[in-house]
Amino acid sequence: MHYVVDASYLDGYRLEIRFENDEVRVVDLSDHLDGPVFEPLKELSYFKQFQVNHDIDTVVWPNSADFSPDFLYDIGVPSGLGGQVPSGAV
């Protein structure tokens, strides 16, 4: 199980997230903002209002929207790749 230690805004719907194992991943949430709780996040000014909640170890927004840290880890790509999917990855 992973947990979020720190996060910063990159651009669009992308965050750079540091996990408990010191791995930094670029997470693009643009395809994951479906449903009523995530609808407000489609407004970039609102999306940028995220914070890391250390009580639940993930990124949260003012309306209490959040994503599982394991989900964020799984969809993220290592930051050193510049947000590009590694060759051969599906």
Q: What is the mean pLDDT of residues 79-90?
A: 53
Say which CATH class 4-79 falls into: alpha beta
Domain boundaries, the chain: 4-79
Instruction: Tell me: pLDDT of 80 over 90.
Output: no
Q: Name the average pLDDT for the chain.
A: 91
- The amino acid that residue 40 corresponds to is P
Q: 76 with 26: CB under 8 angstroms?
A: yes
Q: 19 with 74: CB under 8 angstroms?
A: no
Full-model pTM = 0.86
Instruction: Tell me: pLDDT of 87 over 70.
Output: no
Instruction: Tell me: pLDDT of 36 over 70.
Output: yes
pLDDT tens digit sequence for 9-26: 999 999 999 999 999 999
What is the pLDDT at residue 81?
57
Alpha helices in the chain (DSSP H): 44-47, 69-75
